[in-house]
Amino acid sequence: MKKMAMTSSELDRCSHWRENPAQLHQYVASHGSCDIVVSEGRVHFKSQQLLQSAEGDPLEKCFLGVWRDRAIFLRRADSVSEKDYSVRTLRAMLSTEEQALAAYASGVAHWHDTHRFCGRCGGKNDHLALGHQLKCSACGQLQFPRMDPAVIMTVTDGDWILLGRSPGWPAGVYSTLAGFVEIGESLEQAVAREVKEETGVVVDNIRPVASQPWPFPSSIMLGYQATATRGELSIDHNELEDARWFHKDELASFGDWSEEGDGLKLPRLDSIARILIQRWVEDGL
């Protein structure tokens, strides 16, 4: 399977060092290290480089892992500069591997920013495990990095596929349906619920296809394929601007998300939505 964007095949997270920082310190001394600098959700990109020269005590920063024989750390900056970019913007400047590193660093930084205090008693959280755990200084409550699971699905009926569009997207873009998983439901139940709520269509034969971390700011997209069984289109306009059935042959004439001009367009090439659509077109699933 083609490697999914926002994922790295070369990063070793070396999670065992989170509980044994002395070994990490020895590795840094012999192999060196680099920092990814993040401030207020934006990543520093200096001299056309994502990885910056290491600064400060490595054991006081968040350790991300080992990449191409160097230890990689998240370093926080006090303020945003003109060389800082959102991960969405920075993707066009980076290789696929570097995109994954930037997304990882940005996601961990977001977790730190939004969990500075304990949700149970309000005490200040301290960093443990080289930045991968938080512990309340008052009540001792432990917290771990969180991701928000969301399902995203191709809904098909023979050679037809159901696509929708959000009002905030560029004109003409249609994509797969998606939504967050709710407490107490399985992933398959979430697929069926989201499709029915947004379009009125009932589905079955729900099966997993692929997944992709989506750090905007902290989602994991779980890709599914589902078959429509019944239901006329009944669009929830609080969620979708429009939804339509498209024949497989029509998709060949679609443009890309980034293209200017009128006409129908597919989602970004590096998104799981686009990959799910392309796999259905090419493989038939």
Please report whether residue 72 resides in a domain.
yes
Co-location of 107 and 161 in the same domain = no
Co-location of 98 and 156 in the same domain = no
Question: What does the pLDDT read at residue 285?
Answer: 44
Single out the residue in 94, 114, 134 at which a domain terminates.
114
Collapsed DSSP state (helix, strand, coil) of residue 59: helix
Co-location of 45 and 94 in the same domain = yes
CATH code, domain carrying 259: 3.90.79.10
Co-location of 29 and 153 in the same domain = no
- The backbone torsions φ and ψ at residue 256, rounded to the nearest 5 degrees and listed phi first, read -105, 155
Name residues of the chain where pLDDT drops below 50.
1, 285
Model pTM? 0.90
Please report whether residue 93 resides in a domain.
yes
- The backbone torsions φ and ψ at residue 159, rounded to the nearest 5 degrees and listed phi first, read -95, 15
Question: What does the pLDDT read at residue 3?
Answer: 67
Please report whether residue 141 resides in a domain.
no
Co-location of 107 and 232 in the same domain = no
Query: CA 63, 64, 68, 69: dihedral to nearest 10 degrees?
Result: 20
Co-location of 82 and 188 in the same domain = no
128 CB-contact burial (10 Å; exposed 0-12 / middle 13-18 / buried 19+): middle
Co-location of 179 and 238 in the same domain = yes
Please report whether residue 228 resides in a domain.
yes
CATH code, domain carrying 67: 3.90.79
Co-location of 274 and 156 in the same domain = yes
pLDDT in tens, 261-282: 789 999 998 899 999 999 999 8
Please report whether residue 100 resides in a domain.
yes
Co-location of 106 and 153 in the same domain = no
Co-location of 106 and 202 in the same domain = no
Into how many domains does the chain fold?
2
Question: What does the pLDDT read at residue 2?
Answer: 57
C-alpha distances in angstroms, 68 versus 9, 10, 34, 61? 11, 7, 11, 19
Please report whether residue 128 resides in a domain.
no
Q: Which domain holds residue 41?
A: 15-114
Please report whether residue 132 resides in a domain.
no
Co-location of 155 and 251 in the same domain = yes
pLDDT in tens, 52-70: 999 999 989 999 999 999 9
Co-location of 53 and 168 in the same domain = no
Please report whether residue 267 resides in a domain.
yes
Question: What does the pLDDT read at residue 284?
Answer: 57
What's 11-32 look like in SS3?
CECCHHHHHCHHHHHHHHHHHC
